[in-house]
C-alpha cells in the first residue's frame, strides 16, 4: 500500500506547475544520482498521459538547447533500461533537443505508487486531458482497490472532484473524443451526461461546438429535451394502455389472441392469430357475419 499523501513529498522531484526550466537550477535537493544515455531511458506505457502537445514540446526543447535539462528525470532501474516515473515530457523534449545524456534520480516504487506519482505530476501541471485524468482515477479504484475518498486524498483533490471526473467516462466515445480534442469543455460534457441516447448526446456536442454554446445554454437545452422525451413517453404509455384495452376486447370477441401495432403517423396494424384451418374459418365467419 502506498503511503498517505504521496504527492505532498514530490515537490523536490517534480517541478512546480508553469515554472520555466530557465529558472530551475540543480540544487542539493534535486541533484541527480547520475547522467545516463537518453537511449537507455524509456517511458512508462501505463502512465496516465497519452497526448503531448507538439508546440509546447518544441518550446521546451528550445529552452533545453539553450540552458540544458536542469531538472532530473525521475526513473526506476529496470536492469536493462530506466523506466520514467515522472518527467516524460522533459525526456521527449530532450530527445528533440538532441541531448545524448540526461540527469536522472533513481527510485524504487510499487506499481501503485508509480501511477499515483505520474497522476499527481500531470495534475499539478494540468497536462492531462479530462478523459486521461478520469481513467487514471478509475485505474486506482479498480486495479489497486482504493476507495474514492482514498484516491482524492492521494491526489489532493476533493472527493466530489474525483467523482465528477470519473462520471465523464459514461459519455459516448464520440463525445469523449471531442472533450479530448478541446472541442467542448468538461462543463459541457457533464451537462450532456443527462442525455441517455448516445446519438443525441453526440448531436448536441456537435451543436455546442458549432454554435459556441455556453454550459448554461446546454443545461437549458438538455432540460427542455428531457421534458419533451418525458412527455412523449407518457403519451406513448397512454396510447399503449388504450391499445391494450382494445386488444383485450377484440380477443374476447373472437376467442383468440389479437395484437395491435401502432405507428407515429396514427397508422398501424391488427394481427389476429389462428391455430388451425377450422379456427380460421370460425374467425372469418365471426368477422363477416
Active site residues: 88
What's the CA gap between 55 and 157, in Å, rounded?
A: 29
Q: Residue 151: which residues within 8 A CB-CB, separation 6 or more? A: 137, 140, 141, 162
What's the CA gap between 114 and 287, in Å, rounded?
A: 78
Q: Do residues 178 and 188 make contact, with C-beta atoms less than 8 angstroms apart?
A: no
Work out the burial of residue 252: count CB atoms within 10 Å of its CB; fewer than 13 is exposed, 13-18 middle, 19 or more buried: exposed
Work out the angle at residue 33's Cα, subtended by the Cα atoms of residues 30 and 37, and round it to the nearest 5 degrees. Answer: 115
Q: Give the CA distances from residue 225 to residues 11, 172, 216, 235, in Å, rounded to whole numbers and listed in that order.
A: 47, 18, 14, 15
Grid cell of 188 as nine digits: 459541457
What is the CB-side half-sphere exposure of residue 14 using CA atoms within 13 A? 25
Residue 195: other Cβ atoms inside 10 A: 23
Q: Give the CA distances from residue 259 to residues 188, 221, 238, 249, 272, in Å, rounded to whole numbers and listed in that order.
A: 44, 38, 17, 11, 7
Grid cell of 227 as nine digits: 421534458
Amino acid at each position: 500500500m502506498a503511503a498517505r499523501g504521496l504527492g505532498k513529498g514530490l515537490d523536490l522531484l517534480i517541478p512546480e506547475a508553469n515554472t520555466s526550466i530557465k529558472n530551475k537550477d540543480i540544487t542539493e535537493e534535486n541533484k541527480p544520482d547520475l547522467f545516463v544515455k537518453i537511449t537507455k531511458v524509456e517511458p512508462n506505457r501505463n502512465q496516465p498521459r497519452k497526448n503531448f502537445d507538439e508546440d509546447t514540446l518544441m518550446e521546451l526543447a528550445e529552452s533545453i538547447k539553450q540552458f540544458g535539462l536542469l531538472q532530473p528525470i525521475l526513473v526506476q532501474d529496470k536492469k536493462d533500461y530506466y523506466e520514467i516515473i515522472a518527467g516524460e515530457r522533459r525526456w521527449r523534449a530532450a530527445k528533440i533537443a538532441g541531448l545524448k545524456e540526461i540527469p536522472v534520480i533513481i527510485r524504487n516504487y510499487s506499481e501503485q505508487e508509480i501511477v499515483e506519482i505520474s497522476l499527481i505530476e500531470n495534475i499539478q501541471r494540468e497536462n492531462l486531458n479530462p478523459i486521461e485524468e478520469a481513467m487514471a482515477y478509475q485505474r486506482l479504484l479498480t486495479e489497486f482497490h482504493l476507495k474514492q475518498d482514498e484516491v482524492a486524498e492521494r491526489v489532493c483533490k476533493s472527493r466530489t472532484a474525483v467523482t465528477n471526473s470519473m462520471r465523464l467516462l459514461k459519455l459516448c466515445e464520440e463525445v469523449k473524443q471531442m472533450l479530448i480534442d478541446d472541442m467542448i469543455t468538461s462543463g459541457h460534457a457533464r451537462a450532456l451526461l443527462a442525455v441517455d441516447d448516445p446519438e443525441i448526446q453526440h448531436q448536441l456536442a456537435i451543436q455546442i461546438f458549432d454554435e459556441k454554446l455556453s454550459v448554461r445554454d446546454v443545461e437549458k437545452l438538455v432540460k427542455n429535451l428531457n421534458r419533451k422525451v418525458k412527455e412523449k413517453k407518457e403519451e406513448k404509455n397512454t396510447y399503449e394502455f388504450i391499445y391494450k384495452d382494445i386488444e383485450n376486447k377484440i380477443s374476447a370477441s373472437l376467442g383468440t389472441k389479437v395484437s395491435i401495432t401502432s405507428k407515429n403517423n396514427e397508422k398501424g396494424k391488427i394481427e389476429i392469430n389462428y391455430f388451425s384451418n377450422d379456427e380460421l374459418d370460425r374467425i372469418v365467419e365471426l368477422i363477416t357475419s
